[in-house]
Amino acid sequence: MTSLDPVLDEHYQTVLARNPGEREFHQAVLEVLETLSPVVRRHPEYADQSVIERICEPERQLIFRVPWVDDQGVVQVNRAFRVEFNSALGPYKGGLRFHPSVYLGIVKFLGFEQVFKNALTGMPIGGGKGGSDFDPKGRSDGEVMRFCQSLMTELYRHLGEYTDVPAGDIGVGEREIGYLFGQYKRITNRYESGVLTGKGLAYGGSQVRKEATGYGTVFFTEQMLAAAGKGISGRRVVVSGSGNVAIYAAAKAAEMGAQVVACSDSSGYVVDEAGLDIDLLRRVKEVDRARISAYAEEREGARFVEGGDVWEVACEVALPCATQNELDAEAATTLVENGVLSVAEGANMPCTPEAVDVFQKGGVLFAPGKAANAGGVATSALEMQQNASRDSWTAQHTEERLHQIMAGIHESCATSAEEYGVPGDYVAGANIAGFRRVADAMLALGVV
């Protein structure tokens, strides 16, 4: 751990005291504060006006119960959260996660990251996050619908296209967004398309939204490699996960000429030296909703490793796209020893601080999630634009806009790192660029 500037350490100690037991949130805050020393030295007004303390404290935290009835007629009760973290740049924007691991600390970590991620896009959106400990796996469509309707019956009063605009995340896809939007429309008697993003194309969704986070991660990787005089074509790529982000990161990398040889889920990983068959992977995970082993059963030459760590597979480009803290120092060391050139976080904080340290000391190009996986929320903002103008864009136009936004994020990170004396450090560059945009807006708005 880097020694914190005394002013920053005081704020970090306050975060620890105010938020006991929320280790993911502590980790996210520390990762940002460790890079801000040169900023607060050059801009003492951020400390003088308590911007740092304010930016670490959510504007609003909502916790509520979600009662619903399962297919056997048994009443179930889950807990749900919405953390509206910062609205200095625009309405709160961030996904909903349905997973048994969800608790307040995870939602706050995700919301805190979202504030800076959204700022980096250059779009007028603030940061927030939400979710529930509900697990949609193994539940019928009817059960998922009843849960979503119950959740929205409380959540709707806190939402609005100028207030708070949720989207999907782990466990929340187009099906769940549809049920949530249907209940919102029913309760409010308003067809307010811009209140949720990630919608189906039939009722106000955006082309490329499903693919956007994965595509954006690869676009950022492309920019990062190009800045170092390298390219992505012909590179050996490993992706963790096999959800939306992983599938479409693999698809875009392959389209750009890379050889994507492995992906994973919680049961293990598959290696396909011929290159992943993206259509088969999509069918196995999105249609059949099967375990990743089913891919190896159908694909000649592919092999499944039960319970293994996908980072054992040698690669030049690593794209962790599963969940937080999935890639530790041991895995990072293995990747470096096997010759990895670049790592870009497709998930939110998938690399532990120790892993990031291994990459940076090993000379690996490393892109943090708040920069590399910002493509999803950027395209959500594009969906909001289309909804506001009652318009619909082509997939080609939307993807071009996404590519431009990711190039702009890369430029912003690289420029900020250079300006503050840490050239090539994308972690510092992303944190500084995102923080300064939010902090300057907060100063302009006064103490609110």
pLDDT tens across 82-134, in order? 999 999 999 999 999 999 999 999 999 999 999 999 999 999 999 999 999 99
Give the pLDDT band (50/70/90) at residue 2: low
Q: If residue 320 lies in a helix (H) or strand (E), which one and from where to where? A: strand 317-320
**Cα–Cα distance for residue pair 260/280, rounded to 1 Å:** 14
Q: Supply the pLDDT for residue 289.
A: 87
Q: Which residue has the tokens 């050139």?
A: 341
Q: What is the pLDDT of residue 172?
A: 95
Mean pLDDT score across all residues of the chain: 96
Sheet holding 365-367, edge to edge: 303-306, 268-271, 259-265, 236-240, 317-320, 342-344, 365-367
Handedness of CA 19, 20, 22, 28 (dihedral sign): positive
pLDDT at 4 over 70: yes
CB 191 within 8 A of CB 388: no
pLDDT, tens digit, 9 for 90 and up, residues 239-262: 999 999 999 999 999 999 999 999
Report pLDDT digits (tens) over 72-85.
999 999 999 999 99
Query: Looking at the predicted structure, is the pLDDT value of residue 19 above 80?
Result: yes
Catalytic annotation present for 129: yes
Alpha carbon distance 148, 67 (integer Å): 10
| pLDDT 10s digits, 258-306 | 999 999 999 999 999 999 999 999 999 989 989 999 999 999 999 999 9
Both tokens of 205, joined, read: 């969704």
How confident is the model over 193-224, as pLDDT tens digits?
Answer: 999 999 999 999 999 999 999 999 999 999 99
State pLDDT tens for residues 136-171. 999 999 999 999 999 999 999 999 999 999 999 999
Buried b (16+ CB within 10 A) or exposed e, 120-154: bbbbebbbbbbbbbbebeebeeebbbbbbbbbbbe
Considering the entire predicted model, what is its pTM?
0.94
Q: Which of 93, 108, 117, 129 is catalytic?
A: 129
